Structure 1
Amino acid sequence: MADKRMVPRPRGWTPAVCMGMLGLWSLLLVSLLDSSHIRESCFLAAFSLIIGTTVHCLCLLTEEWLFHSHQRYGGNAWQMLQACFSRATVVGVCVVCGVQLLAGGSHTPEQWAMVVIHSAVHLLLKILGVLGPAPVEISEVCENRKMNVAHGLAWSFYIGYLKLVLPELEEQVKKHYSKTEDVLNSLRLHILLPLSAAATSRLEEVDRNITFHENLPELQMDRAGVRRRVYKHSIYKITDSNKEVYYCVAEYATPLLTLYGMSQDNCAGFSTRERRQQVLLFYSTLRDILENSLECRNRYSLVLLDDEQEAESHYLSQELIKTLQQQKDEIPMDLIQEELNHPVEEERLHHQEEPFSSLPSLMISEPRTLRSEPVENTDFTHHHHR
């Protein structure tokens, strides 16, 4: 199973809190030392930065208007304005201008010169990249807006493959083994996700304790203009150190080949470190997608492999056996719900047959599992908002 220390959590509000506290403490310290001009100085500083940011946005608008208005925006001026001016910038301009009009204060030529100087320096620092976003900020924006390569690959893997084959996998296994004595240790598809993104063609090339057993029957369906497109899975035989044998359906996540190929191509500009981050992001995104998919529930197992640091030659077989043993100890949630519902139904019938009694009776609510299942319920949402 995946180590939680390897999978990155979403970034939080720590930088914003730190910057806010440092800014407030700095202003408080200056006000204690010299409170006579603190308000006017803060307003001039904010006004200078707002002017510089507004001029920067106008320069961006000039580029879009002259060279990209029809190709990118279809000549729509409102879309160009939205692309060049953020809401925060517009709100800041309105607030500063409103305060200036309400205050009605006049500034000296020296103060206006300082505003112009600050705005000009802001523009120059912006051009040089000093005020540009840090790589962490760019990564955060890409993750929040689902703009990473891994997000697209995860959704493509789910929509174009897993959502199609996983609902049919159990029936394929049951039909194939209905007349044989061979039994799989798990009916799930084990999706291997190595951090190195190195997905070999054959599992036995990585671990000699794993050997190819056979293929399941082909699944054919019409897809994207291709008649009777073929999907199939391979069954592998795994032997542990005690010569105990396990059988399961396993395969690498094929989108990892794309990540690996991008890291090997200079044109992609994809480093090894970025590849590792994208693999972890691919894993977390795919996990979230599958956990909320009713079609794929209890039909898959994601096996995250830290193969970059493991020198053990049988690391892959050990991880698969560990996953199979954990599944063996699990109790299907559907079975638990079914077993819990039967006694409740019998108890209800028993109470219906008994005559009414004046003695009070203890009413026991229907037990539920600790893990709730995602069920679509639009009525609850409507009543809740009312």
Structure 2
Amino acid sequence: MASGLLRSEFDQVSFIRKSHSLDYAGGMASNYYFGYLKHVLAASVTDVLEGICERIKLYSAQNSVSFVSDKLVILIPNTMYLNPKIDDSKLLEKTNALEPVIKNRAGVQRRFYNDVYRIKKPINNKYYYIVLEGATPLQSFYDAMQEERNISRTSLKRMQREILLKFYTYLKKLLLSRPDTENEAELILYNAYKEDGSKVDVGEVIISYFHEKLKKET
């Protein structure tokens, strides 16, 4: 009976890469999508303002500002760790959040917030705003890896890269699987450290990513 548990690392990698959701990475992506993203991204069939695009447009009109993207931008660092205070970046400053969304989840009224940041460095000579957050399930996974009493910590840590990539690809697949979320979020997978070992400023990642994107669109 125990022989089935003694699988090689190669077998574990192969299992993670398969196109099912019966693994740690797929489970994290599914919970994140169905428990949170679907509720803040998708527009309601009612007249209530709930979709991320609609709320961004309202914010833009009310404050006379421009957004670098009309989507929720989700940061996915390769280390899985993201500073809880994104505005510690020298290039980002937190402003007022978008209008919150209130949804009933299992009999509980939940209020979902989405933070807005101002990019302090111009892109193509223009200052932009952005709705930005880190992928919270990966942060939870990172925290679990630091817990010495977690008996599976060593095995999961060896599989960290595979889990990260599976989470990214499966979450992207989930977003694209529904018309009401396929164009509502943007995933940015990036290296958290430069080649010289210094930390990357999240603001630099944002500016670099959208500067290239805007250049292609103009």
TM-score surpassing 0.5?
Answer: yes
Could you tell me which of 90, 99, 104 is aligned with 1:208?
A: 90
**Corresponding position of 1:189:** 72
Aligned twin of 1:199: 82
1:149 paired with 2:24, answer yes
Deviations along 1:252-284, one digit per CA (max 9) or x if unpaired, are: 011012211111112333244433332222111
Residues in 2 aligned to 1:313 and 1:257: alpha-carbon distance in whole angstroms: 17
1:211–1:238 CA contact under 8 A, matched in 2? yes
Separation in 1 of the partners of 2:189 and 2:96?
Answer: 24
How far residue 234 of structure 1 moved from its aligned partner, in angstroms, is 0.8
CA distance in 1 between counterparts of 2:81 and 2:107 reads 31
Check the 8 A contact 1:193/1:303 in 2, yes or no.
yes
Is residue 90–residue 201 contact of structure 2 (8 Å, CA) maintained in 1? Answer: no
Alignment-mate amino acid for residue 191 of structure 2: D
Aligned-pair identity (%) = 23
TM-score normalised according to structure 1 size: 0.48
Deviations 1:290-331 (A, max 9, x none): 222211122111011211455455542222123323443566
Aligned to 2:167: 282
2: CA distance, partners of 1:190 / 1:142 = 25
TM-score normalised over the length of structure 2:
0.80
- Is 1:159 equivalent to 2:34 in the alignment? yes
Matched, 1:303 2:178: no
Deviations 1:137-182 (Å, cap 9, x if unpaired)?
Answer: 1331344353321110001111111111112111112223333321
**Mind listing any 5+ residue stretches in structure 2 that lack a counterpart?**
43-50
Which is higher, the Rg of structure 1 or of structure 2? 1
Query: Which protein has greater RCO, CA pairs closer than 8 Å, 6+ apart?
Result: 2
Q: Which runs of 5+ in 1 are unaligned?
A: 1-59, 64-125, 332-386
Higher helix share: 1
Cα 1:175–1:239 shift into 2, 3 Å = closer
The residue aligned with 1:262 is: 144
Residue 295 of structure 1 aligns to a residue whose secondary structure is coil
RMSD value, Cα: 2.7
Name the CA distance, whole Å, in 1 between partners of 2:214 and 2:184: 14
Q: How many residue pairs end up in the alignment?
A: 203
Return the structure number with greater strand share. Answer: 2
Aligned residue runs from structure 1 range 96-107, under 5 A = none
